[in-house]
Structure 1
Amino acid sequence: MTGSPFMQQVRTELRTRQYSIRTEKNYMYWVRYFIRFNDKRHPADMGNREIERFLNHLAINRDVSAATQNQALCALIFLYRFVIRRDIQGLKYSNTRKPKRIPIVLNNEEVSAIFQHLDGKYWLIAALLYGCGLRIQEALTLRIKDIDFTSKSILIFNGKGSKDQYTLLPEKLIAPLQSQIILVRQNHQKDLDDGAGKASLPPALLRKYKGALKLYGWQFLFPSSHRCVHPYDGYICRHHLHATAFSRKLREAVIASDIPKRVTAHTFRHSFATKLLENGTDIRTVQELLGHSDLRTTEIYPHVIGNRRAGTKSPVDFIV
């Protein structure tokens, strides 16, 4: 089904509108799943009833999260709006509200313990997450040109919401980053010697900066260990390290550190924001560093601090 003319049409619409490769894979998955769930009927012959039945199946039988339900709904809305050319009206199903949860954060001792069980590029990725408040994809898609040692800043290009922003570059990470850049440059030179060495660029950037394909500044700071075929344009390139590779190393480090909390790459971002506020950083500055459009998103972190510093004693503490 993936190679069917209809699915190729879906992929073309996604790429024409410059959706990311991750969104493309997710949307293609949900469209295929929707079609198979409905006995391979063509989406043009289906409508609200079939969509509602599919989404209810995900919620009840598959017990998927609110975020997953919303992603499936967005994929189907895209399918009907841009491929079938029909807007879905009166759907008896809306975006599921995500439960509001206080984020899990790590203290300095826990972060240090995890760092002791990471090394090389994996230690540096974790240090960037905690030291700069980056999301994991933002860290993995950093390019050499994005690191400015003079102004001690890092450019986050095309981050969440397709926004560009700057964040701080910690003094402690300058030397490790410089060492990592030397390794990338050496690896890039080997690729050039093999007749390769092209950077992996999105189609829009490829058209604009085609001459920059082989410049080392456009190489990923954390390149993959293997060259691959570019998913859009078919040339041989070196993509960035996959998030699952870091997640696996992080999970091993957390287990080795004997930390009972559920720790993911995003936990470091939460810990970054909380630690800045604990140290007296203005919440507007934290908002800017995190790249939040709405201050209300950032305001979750003072609640974390408040829970810790309320100073309220439990009645059991007064028992003699």
Structure 2
Amino acid sequence: MMNLNNKILITLLNLIFIYFSISSSFAQSNIRPIQMLVGFPPGQATDLIARVLAQQLSKEINRPVIVENKPGQGGSIALGILAKSPADGSVISFSALASYAINPHLYKSVPYDTFRDIAPVALVADIPVVLVANADFKPKTFTEFIAYVKANPDTVMYSSSGNGTVSHLGMQDLKKRAGLEMSHIPYQGSARAMADLVSGQVQVGMDSVSATKQLIDAKKLNILAAASLKRLPMFPDVPTISESGFPGFEVAAWVGVCAPVGTPMTERVRLNQAITKIVNSSEFNEKLKTIGAIPHPSSIEEFTKFIKSEYDRWGIIVKATGASVE
């Protein structure tokens, strides 16, 4: 009959075997979490979409995806970190238009090169932009707004979510095209900008549907026009700026996933396929609607070409408006 010491020894050996088997299994399954860098604070549209995507991507690839907020320089801090991260699929970014295509033209220096350091993975969504006004502001339509500002130069103030943001440059572009004279009041984020717009500290602003829709629905803001080329499904009766005398005018934020240059194409394709499946799902679409975003799936090749075209387009706008940020 086996004595007690032998039983204890066998039990210990079995436990050691189980431990090393589990450790080996974890190592082989590569379950180390993926870091998803987001260049904006929690609660903004980019962050909200990132968290929905991360949750569903974790399930799709059976690997934890953890959102890490790295705000600063209009999203460029996060891309700077991405550029210096290991190119092994363990770090990705979820960044917006400005980070990829505007900031390199706007700032004297950003800590990355959009094309040398960043490898596109997948476009995810568009975040439409609208022109809104304080509810008590006299002009109630876009045409009335243009006429009022021309008749009252330098009396109207417009808000933005920060220097160099889409909301800033979009208004700068409209000012230049329409020959308007208005004062720019930059804020740190959309929430503060909208608060002062509602209170009447500023009269107008161009910002995302995500930041404005609830205020529009509550009659706290009046929507004057959509900055998209086509009318928005959530505001089908609101004309676009493009159809209201400024053909081709378009301002829209978009968000997508990138990896460090050097990340294996097999890993980028795997992520693209998983993200595209998510973006096309009805569950993800419903969540985007609540944020005010529109799904925009793409292949790696399509996203690569899109970034290049946006980089060139916004470079022209930044130069034409004379905008710059130290």
- Quickly name the TM-score band, shorter chain normalised: under 0.3
More strand by share: 2
- Point out which structure has higher relative CO (alpha carbons under 8 A, 6+ apart): 2
More helix by share: 1
TM-score, with normalisation over the residues of structure 2? 0.24
TM-score, with normalisation over the residues of structure 1? 0.24
The structure with the larger Rg is 2
